């Protein structure tokens, strides 16, 4: 779409070639070429492990350790003292398969009391400890 504006005579013929139809034809050909090229699928070969059809192992024993707002410690709904807790934690640590201890501190429980219970568990070698009931703190 070029226009020749110059100081030439009015009756001179335009010598430039009109390239607009050529560009249109090239764009149509390019579009057809892109459409007709088959999609390349890139596959990544992974060595995945074979599925294990064996039944899952039995779930481990779980212990509910609740620390109440007044500092009361309960082991599976049985109120215990700190000395008794040490005995229970020692037995759990020495077991062939350690039970999972689910610590559920009350929202109003003292941080010092919870930290004390966790320190006793760590000192006695209990490794499978987790907190439950965290949603009450949100």
Distance, in Å, from the CA atom of 73 to the CA atom of 119, rounded to the nearest integer, reads 14
Would you say the C-alpha torsion 46, 52, 56, 57 has a positive or negative sign?
negative
* Strands, E assignment, 16-112: 62-67, 73-75, 78-80, 100-105
| pLDDT per residue as tens digits for the range 33-69 | 888 887 777 777 888 888 878 877 788 889 999 999 9
The domain made up of 62-137 is a member of CATH 3.30.420: yes
Domain boundaries along the sequence of the chain:
62-137
Residue 63, C-beta contacts closer than 8 angstroms, at least 6 positions apart: 75, 76, 88, 92, 99, 100, 101, 102
User: Can you tell me the distance from the alpha carbon of 78 to that of 76, in angstroms, rounded to the nearest whole number?
Assistant: 6
**pLDDT given for residue 6 in this prediction:** 57
Is the pLDDT at 73 greater than 90, yes or no?
yes
pLDDT band at 2 (very low <50, low <70, confident <90, very high): low
In eight-state DSSP terms, residue 56 is P
Q: What is the pLDDT of residues 25-35, one digit of tens each?
A: 999 999 998 88
**Cα–Cα distance measured from residue 111 to residue 115, given in angstroms and rounded to the nearest whole number:** 6
């Amino acid at each position: 779409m070029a226009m020749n504006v110059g100081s030439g005579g009015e009756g001179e013929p335009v010598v430039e070639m009109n390239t607009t139809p050529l560009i249109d034809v090239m764009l149509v050909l390019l579009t057809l070429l892109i459409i007709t090229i088959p999609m390349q699928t890139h596959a990544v070969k992974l060595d995945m492990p074979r599925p294990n059809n064996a039944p899952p192992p039995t779930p481990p024993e779980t212990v509910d350790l609740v620390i109440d707002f007044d500092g009361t410690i309960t082991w599976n709904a049985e109120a215990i003292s700190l000395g008794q807790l040490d005995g229970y934690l020692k037995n759990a640590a020495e077991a062939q398969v350690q039970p999972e201890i689910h610590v559920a501190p009350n929202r109003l429980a003292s941080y010092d009391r919870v930290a004390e219970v966790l320190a006793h568990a760590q000192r006695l070698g209990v490794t499978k400890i987790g907190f439950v009931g965290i949603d009450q703190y949100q």
